[in-house]
A = this chain, B = another copy of it.
């Protein structure tokens, strides 16, 4: 793939980050992975993404070490994609982009994020105003339906995410 070739002369770390996650759909795949989505069909249905694009994004993210492919069934063979430590480290950037998006005209919060141990809503970069410090660990983030959420009853991922849960908690739906 010809990812990021145009950025070759841009040596800054933002440009390098965009070489990996700047392609269309990539950050939404990572978002879903952080929400606990692991399986091809679940990404497919929840993202409404063309199959070839999803396959390419999953492969590129796996090669970049953001996702890790794990066999979860042998007959027939089936893999799932689990977000790695490198992928988890993208959460503050995604949270910051999402918080910024909330300031755009007409955008309603689809999800709320709360620091589970103390119940405080997360700040714009995933920090907790009550507990202090930088972004809190992902395992401690509760994800709840927001005021703008209108779950799609035909989408099992959308249904799962309509209930309070933790980031990274696996969303497992039946194979289609």
Q: How many copies does the complex hold?
A: 2
What B residues does A31 contact at CB under 8 A? 12, 14
* A31 nearest in chain B by CB position: B14
Q: How far is the CB of A28 from chain B (nearest CB, A)?
A: 6
* A172 proximal to B (CB < 8 A): no
**Is the pair B134, A17 in contact by a Cβ cutoff of 8 Å?**
no
* A96 proximal to B (CB < 8 A): yes
The verdict on A20 contacting B93 (CB below 8 Å), with A11-B148, A125-B125, A127-B134 known, is no
Q: Interface residues of A, CB < 8 Å — how many? A: 55
Complex partner residue of A22 from B17, B24, B109, CB under 8 angstroms: B24
Query: What separation, in Å, do the CA atoms of A14 and B100 have in the docked complex?
Result: 8
The verdict on A89 contacting B110 (CB below 8 Å), with A27-B22, A125-B96, A134-B125 known, is no
**Is the pair A14, B103 in contact by a Cβ cutoff of 8 Å?**
no
Query: What separation, in Å, do the CA atoms of A31 and B17 have in the docked complex?
Result: 13
* A96 nearest in chain B by CB position: B93
* A56 proximal to B (CB < 8 A): no
Q: How far is the CB of A107 from chain B (nearest CB, A)?
A: 5
Residues of A near any B CB (own CB < 8 A) = 6-7, 9-18, 20-22, 24-25, 27-28, 31, 47-49, 86, 89-90, 92-104, 107, 109-111, 123-127, 129, 132-135, 148, 150
